[in-house]
Amino acid sequence: MKLHVRKDDQVIVLTGKDQGKKGKIVSAQPEKGRVVVEGVNIVSRHRKATPTMSQGGIIKQEAPIHSSNVMVICPSCKKPTRTAHKEMTDGKFARACKKCGEHIDK
């Protein structure tokens, strides 16, 4: 599954318990169609102490959310937008903002 977002994109969450939160994509999982957003979808994991991790306990970490629940924030106009594909000067295609027309990929 091809994703409309990439690692290090600024996004806003559209639905769910974290609706309206903004954050940076930490990792993308295109094979599952999911992304991990910084500070969004925090879950508690109960970890047992192991020789590598000396202290156990409850660890809070980000869990993946579906990529359809996030929208890219354009770096130039600072608004959530859908992405278009525009041709660059060298003949390659890059993602562009549908609102202002500027390239998202630099």
Mean pLDDT across the chain: 93
Closest CA to 23 of 57, 87, 59, 72: 72
Question: What is d(CA 103, CA 52) in angstroms, rounded to the nearest whole number?
Answer: 45
Sorted by sequence, the CB contacts under 8 Å of residue 55 that are 6+ apart come out as: 49
For residue range 25-62, list pLDDT tens digits in order.
Answer: 999 999 999 999 999 999 999 999 999 878 889 999 99
Task: Decide if 77 contacts 100 (C-beta within 8 A).
Answer: yes
> Domain map of the chain by residue range?
10-73, 82-106
Any idea which fold 10-73 has?
SH3 type barrels. (2.30.30)
User: pTM of the prediction?
Assistant: 0.84
Q: Is the pLDDT of residue 106 over 90?
A: no
Give the mean pLDDT of 75-91. 91
Strands (E), the chain: 10-13, 22-29, 34-37, 42-47, 57-62, 65-66, 70-73, 80-81, 83-87, 93-97
Task: Decide if 82 contacts 99 (C-beta within 8 A).
Answer: no
